[in-house]
Chains A and B, each alone.
Chain A
């Protein structure tokens, strides 16, 4: 029951803070627009006055596309058929699980995005923890208050994930997978091994992610200064409630998978220009918003669960109400 309660509670908190969702969606869009415009310029220049542009406008000219991608810069090379429809989702999940590299320019954008998320996550968690409007000033104050702390935590997380993707992933998928499958002669058996390793790696990622998630939650909700302390607190929290923490994570993951599955059904093919092009884009943006909702639901549900377990009056004494009050202190204040 705590899983369902926390999930529903988290969903309510996300819905009650639509500005956060809109802001996240806007941020996710704005970050890619400049590069998109650069790519558009390169495409337009390459197509020029050619009739081939008709083919690329009405569908796909695969031969020209290969020529463009191979002659181009990093941005051009990232324009592969995987941008079409649901292939985008498959390609990106596959890239994450397979540890595939990206073009340097894409890596730069990605790192920027992660840093921005790390910074704003303080405000987001604060808003969900308070579960009441905090207005812009309150949101950004929380971002400012927690920003440097969460960035420090992000560095630690980066090191942890660097170890996972740089060492553990290589060990699992280069060494272990190779050792297990080297003499296999049946492809589906090798695929089963790979799926099993995906599950193992995914579980490790989830375990690490859970600890960092609750470290972030505790850093914000309990106004912790020490990120090492928050990390240990997050670890303790997960260790003492592994079933619910994992179950809640799984429930969130199922929501995310459902979003992807629905997009898989709706995602259009390459299509043409004109109205259909914009409808395709709007469909894609709706999917992005749904994915962001699912991501925010992770935050909100975990906050809700944490608050239901520890951040209540019986657990912490009321701190001195110095503005900005911590969500925990505020909750106690309301009781008093």
Chain B
């Protein structure tokens, strides 16, 4: 009821508008929610009015809602089964207090005017469109008394109660830190071919329509609340709670957090040519010395992404530093994200910067461009991983690799191990081990759970960076910028991205996308053989009247160098071949990379001393770059000796450490 009042388009001043000329999105899924948290019992009690408009071309006989918390109702859910498949049964042994659930206690269709609500509670049923799992309760179908026609709007009131779990999938609670995401019955996306409302899967995230959220959150008085949207309105209640109201237009999700322990800090992002953004940081007290790092990384992201792709459209952004062991770190929600850091976080190592940039970047890829993360997660995760690495390289280098010891608490920074955007930022090592795991165009929720990340994040970042090196940064930036502008507040699909890439680059890049997105081809070009021998051709050559025998045929003292380049993978990519001769001259050859091998022959006075295929490392998807080069003066021996000596000292120290016992 209250939602119907609050969310009418002509509502009073100060109330959000669900439609109008200023709407940036279709605003067809609008929520007015009242929710109360009982932190001791970890119970959420909620009531929402959903105002939903059918923007598809088909009528719908029912409404479908995600009930994500039911993924952790028991170990029979699809999420838990997939999680066990990918990472083992660790989570299933959790104690009773760790599990969570959500029960919808009432569903009513609100009538127009004074018409009484129609109770639909008894009609609801659970459906499992993805795997038919009868025990999965993460999708609720609500049959309607009459199909909802295209363009029609319905108001539905929902009441629910849920238990907040000990964090699974980055939502939940530990101690007095609550991170509440995917917490309310959220309507799926109706498309022209029906509902796109997947069950919750262990390897994928979310998909929903844009709308206006007006949420009133009641928590114990004194607790700090951070949330999607802009807040500020507080009301103290007689029962010792305070209600915080947050409102945000043109977003497709709503998350919030509360804890009495946060340090609540703000800074303002102001860069010429970009809209100002109020940055709010909710920081754990033990990380008080790292506030500047979070703000700097967020500002760097807003600036870089804003200048590269398009500006951040909201007035505020909230950075949440989650409590240790909360499991809530590194996750994005509209206008709010969780970062992740450690108590001991050396400044030379890009943590928390890496995760902060990545999650802030999701405001653009995921938040503004709202692709379907169930089916095409690479469209936001991959693009964002690529861009994250680019910002890190531009703003935070040099930085170093570190390893952690003593239970993971104590970091040690390797001063001469420098982080590289191309390989570390794009996570080549992870992709190398999973290169053939899945075809990227397979719906993401059907990826093998254990390697889904490598195909979603790593492979996309690598093929985008390869494209950047192949086409140049400006064309790729323009592709992403056009994609951002054209698809903001909408739901793009892969073909939309590829169409823009072809359009902006002025090239048909399908040969490339068919391999990296449509196949599992692996790329591996190698220098197979290099020979340099004196030219000793002998035999008959044309004479004045008849062939004459010459030995040698050519006595200019030339050598013949043959270079054989081999394509060892089934992926095809044009590559350059660099040949360096011992007189200092260099030759660069172009090869389309199609045939299994390619021979280059040179007859010169100088022989080859170095050969490199793809010397500029354009093809970052090349799984084995070590075989891309050959040198006449290899230093494998000295290098091997150096590392052998290092290793021996380590092993001697290991022996002495354990010899402490005898």
Contacts and interface: CB of A to CB of B under 8 A. Distances in A.
B652 A183 contact: no
A156 B336 CA distance: 59
Given A49-B630, A94-B406, A295-B656, A57 B174 contact: no
B324 A190 contact: yes
Contact of A274 (B174, B625, B638): B638
Contacts of B284: 185-186
A268 B526 CA distance: 35
What is the size category of the interface that chain B forms with chain A? 35 or more
Contacts of B261: 185
Interface stretch (B122-130, B411-419, B561-569, B585-593): B411-419
A53 interface: yes
A185 B354 CA distance: 22
Given A87-B403, A109-B651, A43 B626 contact: no
Contacts, number: 278
A203 interface: no
B531 interface: no
Contact of B655 (A64, A98, A110): A110
Contact of B423 (A37, A62, A161): A62
Contact of B324 (A56, A91, A187): A187
B660 interface: yes
A97 interface: yes
B636 A295 contact: no
A225 B342 CA distance: 55
A67 interface: yes
A185 B662 contact: no
B634 A43 contact: no
Interface string B614-654: 00000000001111111100111111111111111111111
Given A50-B629, A102-B654, A272 B642 contact: yes
A93 B406 CA distance: 8
A3 B656 CA distance: 24
A78 interface: yes
Contact of B414 (A54, A63, A84, A292): A84
A291 interface: yes
B629 A52 contact: yes
Please indicate which of the listed interface residues A46, A109, A284 has the most CB atoms of chain B within 10 Å of its own CB.
Answer: A284
B80 interface: no
A15 B411 CA distance: 37
Interface SS majority for chain A: helix
A110 B656 CA distance: 9
Contacts of A54: 631, 635, 639
Given A53-B635, A81-B414, A185-B175, A70 B429 contact: yes
Contact of B643 (A79, A188, A292): A79
Given A102-B654, A157-B661, A183-B174, A51 B417 contact: no
A88 interface: yes
Contacts of A93: 405, 657
A57 B626 contact: no
A154 interface: yes
Interface string A163-187: 0000000000100000001111111
Given A62-B401, A67-B626, A84-B414, A185 B658 contact: no
A288 B643 CA distance: 17
B640 A44 contact: yes
A48 B636 contact: yes
B111 to A, nearest CB: 47
Interface in A107-156: 109-110, 113-114, 117-118, 121, 154
B656 A194 contact: no
Contacts of B627: 48, 50
Contacts of B631: 49-51, 53-54
The 7 closest A-B pairs by CB, nearest first: A284-B649, A47-B636, A185-B323, A94-B405, A43-B640, A51-B629, A57-B639
26 contacts: A28-B656, A29-B648, A36-B651, A39-B643, A39-B644, A44-B636, A47-B626, A52-B625, A60-B416, A62-B401, A79-B647, A80-B403, A84-B416, A86-B412, A89-B653, A117-B662, A157-B661, A185-B174, A185-B324, A185-B326, A187-B409, A188-B286, A272-B642, A284-B652, A288-B649, A295-B659
